[in-house]
Amino acid sequence: MNLINSELSLQFFYIDKQILVVCTGSSGEAYSFIKESDVKALIKRSILVHQHIDKFFPKDSILFESNHNSIEQGEAIKDASSPVNLDTTGLGNRVLNSKQEREKLSSNLKQLGTLLFKNVFNHQILDLLNVAIGQAIRLKNDVLIRLMIASDFLNLVPWELFYNEDRYLCHVYDIVRHPFTLQPVRKPISSSENIRLLFIGANPSHDIYVQGQIEAVQAALEESSIQFEKLPDSTYKSIANSIYDGITILHFLAHGECEYDGNHLKYYFRIDSEDENKPYDKLPIEMLESFCRANPMQVAVLNACRSDQAIMYSKSKSGKKLTNRLTESGYYSMAHALIKTGIPCVIGMSHPISKIGAEILTRRLYRTLTSKGGSIYKAVRQIRLELFAHTDFLPPSDWLTPVLYLRNSNYNGLIQTQ
């Protein structure tokens, strides 16, 4: 892979209970080991942070009701000083309205981020990062940090939290995850091809504000040539037919759920049932994988809670036992599964996200992608910054929730260059 001057690649390998970090950049290579005791600490702290975030979403729902109006094109968030009622249960409101609890989570995020930076960016690897930053400044480029995680289960570590000198790296530089997989990436589309965006709004329980998301997409695409299609009522048949017809972007808004089947988690989306006597059907991630493998799109946005979660954090008490189980059974999340079907780019959610947070994500994503020179990683960074700017009333984890998987190093917006 040819590295541009402002790109830094970090490869992570789990070897003998240690993590080998291999760093490559335009100015050379370096490597270091994260020793076993530090690896245990990173995994343990990561699980604790995930568990803490889960406290803010006791109902395990993707889009919670809010006192705020929907965010329309060009409209700022209203009444930002008021607390957001993200959940109707007493526990949810009590946790969210506790200033102490919010500050505690924010502090835990910074502590884990500091530990991650300390263990990864040391000595020569830190030198390579500084060189990449210097080159980017000179060339007026952005810095892209590519995380190539060879040992899949290490994806449970929120590497995007790298924190140093009172700032998160992902707020200043672009960070993407580049998984190892044998499936070839889909052939890039040319500028002469039509771009089709399929919006799937699976809402059998009528508890997700689908219309607000649709309006956010339509507002962002007003001056673009992208063909916008929507499936507000989504069934097996309609989803399969739409993907097989060929699309460029898949935006999937639904409840994403997971449950244990023995030692393995099963992942599925709730979709509308063709049987009037059933409240909803379950679309297994394996079925969506098959659809996408047959006709992969360029971008898949899984705006569904826990679509990038591979374990039940609430049931994870022992970091050691969890590590052993994951190394034996493997890591498998919905987003991680789709990136292996040949889709160049997948955005998943590591946790549930608030209603307003999801609308911000959708609006900012498509506004950036349809603007001149907008890239997918720039869009995700802008999403993080916008969500982070409102952590005084949004869940403190909203900005961290989107996870970007990107396999093509030449990916630029919706059109790729060879």
pLDDT tens for each residue of 55-66: 877 654 444 333
pLDDT at 314: 65
pLDDT at 324: 65
- Provide CB contacts within 8 A for 134, sequence distance 6+: none
**Measured distance CA(183)–CA(289) in Å, rounded:** 12
Helices (H), 221-353: 236-244, 285-294, 319-329, 334-339
pLDDT at 2: 39
Let me know if 182 is exposed, middle or buried by CB neighbors in 10 A (0-12, 13-18, 19+): exposed
Q: How many CA atoms lie within 13 A of 348 on its CB side?
A: 26
DSSP-derived 3-state class of residue 144: strand
| Strand ordering across the sheet containing 281-284 | 256-261, 264-271, 281-284
CA 269 to chain centre: 17
Is residue 76's pLDDT more than 50? no
pLDDT at 346: 92
Let me know if 219 is exposed, middle or buried by CB neighbors in 10 A (0-12, 13-18, 19+): middle
DSSP-derived 3-state class of residue 97: coil
pLDDT at 33: 96
DSSP-derived 3-state class of residue 163: strand
Is residue 4's pLDDT more than 70? no
**Measured distance CA(111)–CA(161) in Å, rounded:** 9
pTM for this predicted structure: 0.85
Q: Which residue has the higher pLDDT, 239 or 416?
A: 239
**Measured distance CA(170)–CA(310) in Å, rounded:** 22
Contact (Cβ atoms closer than 8 angstroms) between residue 188 and residue 418: yes
**Measured distance CA(168)–CA(106) in Å, rounded:** 12
- 163 φ/ψ angles, rounded to the nearest 5 degrees: -135, 130
Q: What one-character DSSP code corresponds to residue 274?
A: S
Kindly state the percentage of the chain with pLDDT values over 90.
Answer: 32
Q: Which residue has the higher pLDDT, 117 or 88?
A: 117
79-87 mean pLDDT = 33
Q: What one-character DSSP code corresponds to residue 299?
A: E
- Provide CB contacts within 8 A for 49, sequence distance 6+: 105, 108, 109, 112, 158
Contact (Cβ atoms closer than 8 angstroms) between residue 314 and residue 156: no
Of 209-218, 275-284, 315-324, 338-347, the poorest mean pLDDT is in 315-324
**Measured distance CA(38)–CA(60) in Å, rounded:** 31
Q: 196-416 in CATH: which number?
A: 3.40.50.1460
Q: Which residue has the higher pLDDT, 274 or 158?
A: 158
Q: Which residue has the higher pLDDT, 87 or 395?
A: 395
Contact (Cβ atoms closer than 8 angstroms) between residue 68 and residue 77: yes
Contact (Cβ atoms closer than 8 angstroms) between residue 121 and residue 162: yes
372 pLDDT tier (thresholds 50, 70, 90): low
DSSP-derived 3-state class of residue 64: coil
**Measured distance CA(6)–CA(375) in Å, rounded:** 15
Tokens of residue 164, six digits = 């140093």
pLDDT at 42: 93
156 pLDDT tier (thresholds 50, 70, 90): confident
**Measured distance CA(260)–CA(276) in Å, rounded:** 28
**Measured distance CA(392)–CA(190) in Å, rounded:** 43
pLDDT at 164: 96
298-313 mean pLDDT = 81
Is residue 248's pLDDT more than 60? yes
Contact (Cβ atoms closer than 8 angstroms) between residue 175 and residue 159: yes
Spell out a b/e string for 132-142, using b for 16 or more CB atoms within 10 Å of the CB, else e: beebbeeeeee
100 pLDDT tier (thresholds 50, 70, 90): confident
**Measured distance CA(365)–CA(383) in Å, rounded:** 7
Q: Which residue has the higher pLDDT, 78 or 327?
A: 327
CA 221 to chain centre: 22
Of 26-35, 160-169, 336-345, the poorest mean pLDDT is in 336-345
75 pLDDT tier (thresholds 50, 70, 90): very low
Kindly state the percentage of the chain with pLDDT values over 70.
Answer: 79
Q: Which residue has the higher pLDDT, 386 or 311?
A: 386
CATH 3.40.50.1460 location in the chain: 196-416
Is residue 174's pLDDT more than 80? yes
- Provide CB contacts within 8 A for 317, sequence distance 6+: none
Identity of the residue numbered 143: V
The mean of the pLDDT values for the chain is 80
195 pLDDT tier (thresholds 50, 70, 90): confident
Contact (Cβ atoms closer than 8 angstroms) between residue 231 and residue 262: no
